[in-house]
Amino acid sequence: MPTQITEFRAPTRRALDFLDGHARLLERRLAQAWFAAPDPQHAHAVLHALEGHRNADGGLGHGLEADVLAPDSQPLAVDFALEVVEQVLQSPSGQHDSVRDHAHAFAAGLPAYLAARAQDDGGLPIVLPTIAAYPRAEHWGDGEFPAGLNPTASIVSRLRALEITSDWTTAAEQFCARHIETLRTAESLDAHTALTVFCFLDHAAEQDRAREVAAEIAARAATWTSFHLYPGSGYGLGPLDFAPGPDHPRRGLFPADAVEAHLDAIQQTQQPDGGWPLSWQPPGPASELAWRGVLALRNARLLHAFGR
């Protein structure tokens, strides 16, 4: 890691060392954007790394989301890429007009691909059946998924934040608005869908109503599937996935002791190599190492943000 902008506490330092030694190029360059002295070139380098996953149809693939190693374009890979773009723009190295222009140019090619894969109502499936021909994590099965809020809501909201619109984004926003309305009385909700809904609401035009809906959904957080309000065994998202900083707008949606318990758990489960173990089975050793890099960057950001 080049010149640091500050000294880091030991857990964060060990996580950054893990990234230097084990992570993919994408996560190592993203770590520079967050933790090295601010420089727009670090941010541009992340976007260049993403471009290496691009296909001729405008979409992205080639294991960008490391549980799906299909080379062809997948909505899941687009969702992963746009979350990275969002991080780039939020990072200290992303605060430059040239970076936003680069991010806009990167994302501007996505709607045509997404429109070609969307259903008539604008909704996207998270993956396509073509993944069945390639190594993939068991939870992706045969790749047969209906269109849903996950990933449609997060993709269209992040494109909206980049001021990218098209006939497809209009249809997708209407799809999301209809389905989010049904969630207000739904008996069950999985955490990944909840996260995409919050992402959509963050960028909604009517923020007063968006905050009201977000509070309704968050009030049922303890009942979400694949969610640990407090640390637990097995795979699941937690409050820090929804509010990754002490000043994050969604921080108040979750109990303070739940947030502290998750931070304690992160520190307690850091391994001697500086990384963290996975709570699911990836499709192979390369995928495992890729995900450990993603997780190390996530946890380094959390520990640093919360002063751990």
Task: Tell me how far CA of residue 54 lies from CA of 49, 51, 77, 168, in angstroms.
Answer: 10, 5, 10, 20
Tell me the pLDDT band of 3, cut-offs 50, 70 and 90.
Answer: very low
Residues 80, 216, 242, 258, CA torsion sign: negative
CA distance 86 to 267: 26
The pLDDT of residue 238: 95
- Averaged over 198-210, what is the pLDDT? 91
The pLDDT of residue 64: 98
pLDDT, mean over the chain: 95
Say if residues 239 and 265 touch (Cβ distance below 8 Å): no
Q: How many Cβ atoms from other residues are within 10 Å of residue 177's Cβ?
A: 12
Calculate what percentage of the chain has a pLDDT beyond 70. 98
The pLDDT of residue 6: 62
Question: Over the stretch 268-292, which tens digit does the pLDDT of each residue have?
Answer: 999 999 999 999 999 999 999 999 9
The pLDDT of residue 253: 87
pLDDT at residue 70 above 90? yes
pLDDT at residue 2 above 70? no
Residue labelled with tokens 């409050």: 239
Residues linked to residue 124 through DSSP beta bridges, in sequence order: 148
Question: Over the stretch 95-147, which tens digit does the pLDDT of each residue have?
Answer: 999 999 999 999 999 999 999 999 999 999 999 999 999 999 999 999 999 99
Say if residues 197 and 242 touch (Cβ distance below 8 Å): no
Say if residues 59 and 109 touch (Cβ distance below 8 Å): no
The pLDDT of residue 82: 98
The pLDDT of residue 187: 78
CA distance 102 to 108: 10
Burial of 135 (0-12, 13-18, 19+ CB in 10 A): middle
For residue 249, give the DSSP letter: T
Say if residues 269 and 277 touch (Cβ distance below 8 Å): yes
Q: What is the pTM of this model?
A: 0.95
Report the SS3 class of residue 80: helix
Say if residues 218 and 262 touch (Cβ distance below 8 Å): no
Say if residues 40 and 76 touch (Cβ distance below 8 Å): no
Residues 126, 129, 133, 137, CA torsion sign: positive
CA distance 34 to 29: 9
pLDDT at residue 158 above 90? yes
pLDDT at residue 55 above 60? yes
Tell me the pLDDT band of 7, cut-offs 50, 70 and 90.
Answer: confident
**At 52, phi and psi to the nearest 5?**
-65, -15
Amino acid at 81: A
